[in-house]
Amino acid sequence: METPTHIAIIMDGNGRWAKKRFLPRVAGHVRGVKRVKDSIEQCLEFNIKYLTLFAFGRDNWKRPQEEVSFLMDLLLEQINKEFTKLHDKNICVRFIGDRSRIDKSLVDRIESIEHLTQKNDKLFLSIALDYSGTYDITQAVNKIIQLSPKTAISEKDFSRYLLSYPYPSVDLFIRTGGEYRLSDFMLWDLAYSECYFTTKLWPDFDKTVFCAAMKWFNSRERRFGMISEQL
C-alpha cells in the first residue's frame, strides 16, 4: 500500500457528537483528544512522516467564551500530560499559527515542547492553533515585503515563507463531520491534495475509518496536470 507523505486533518464534529449523547459540547472535545492520540499512533504504524491537525481556527474565537477557554485549558493540560510522551516516541512537535492572542502560559509551554522535540524525526506533527490559510498567505506576503520588497520570487520561493515550511505539501486531506469545505485550512499546501470527506464525527474517527481513508487514497490516480499515459 502506498502511503501519503503528509496528511492534514480537520477534526470536525466534537460538539455534535456530544449533543447526540445529551452531553455538554466540551465532552466531545475531551473524547476527541483520544482520537488525536489514535491518529498519531496510526501514522507511526503506517510510516507516515508528516501529520498536521487543525486544532483551532482564527474564526473559532467567535465561539462562546466558555468553550474557547475550555479548549485552551485542555490543550495546556495535554501538553503537560502527554507531549513528553511524544518526545519519547521520537516525534517532532510544532505549532503553526498566530501566537499573539494566545495566553503567555500556553505559549511558554508550546515553545518548551517545540524546543524539546526539535531534533526528533520519526514523525513531524504540526498543530494548527489560531491558524487560517489566508492568514498564513498574508503573513508570508508581509515577510517578503519586509525582507525583499523589490525582488521577484517564484512559487517555490514563496512557500519558504509559509508557516508549514519546510514540510512538504499535503498529499491527503481528511475532514470528518460531514462538511465538504476547506474552512480556510492550508490553502497553499492543499493545492494538489486528495481530499477525503467522511460523515464520521471526529470522536468516532477510529482505525477503521483511518484505514478506509488510506485505501481511498490508494485508489486515486495522482496526475498533477498530466494524463494517465504519462505516468
- Residue 221 pLDDT exceeds 90: no
Active site residues: 12, 60
Query: Between the CA of residue 28 and those of 11, 126, 187, what are the distances in Å?
Result: 11, 22, 27
Per DSSP, the residues of 90-157 read TEEEEEES--TTS-HHHHHHHHHHHHHHTT--SEEEEEEEEE-HHHHHHHHHHHHHHH-TTS---HHH
Closest of 29, 2, 37, 34 to residue 13, by C-alpha: 29
Mean pLDDT for the stretch of residues 87-93: 97
For the segment 91-116, the average pLDDT, to the nearest whole number, is 97
User: So what's the pLDDT on residue 151?
Assistant: 86
158 within domain boundaries: yes
Domain count, the chain: 1
Q: Give the domain range for residue 107.
A: 6-230
pLDDT score of 231 more than 60: no
Adjacency order of strands within the sheet including 172-175: 91-96, 123-131, 50-57, 6-10, 172-175, 194-197
Q: Answer yes or no: is 1 within a domain.
A: no
173: domain CATH number? 3.40.1180.10
Q: Which residues contact 184 (CB under 8 A, 6 or more apart)?
A: 57, 58, 59, 132, 133, 134
Per-residue pLDDT at 148: 85
Cα 9 to Cα 127: distance, rounded to the nearest angstrom: 10
- Position 132 pLDDT exceeds 80: yes
Q: State whether residue 37 is helix, strand or coil.
A: helix
pTM of the shown model: 0.94
Residue 62 lies in a domain: yes
pLDDT tens digits, residue range 16-50?
A: 999 999 999 999 999 999 999 999 999 999 999 99
Q: What proportion of the chain, given as a percentage, has pLDDT over 90?
A: 90
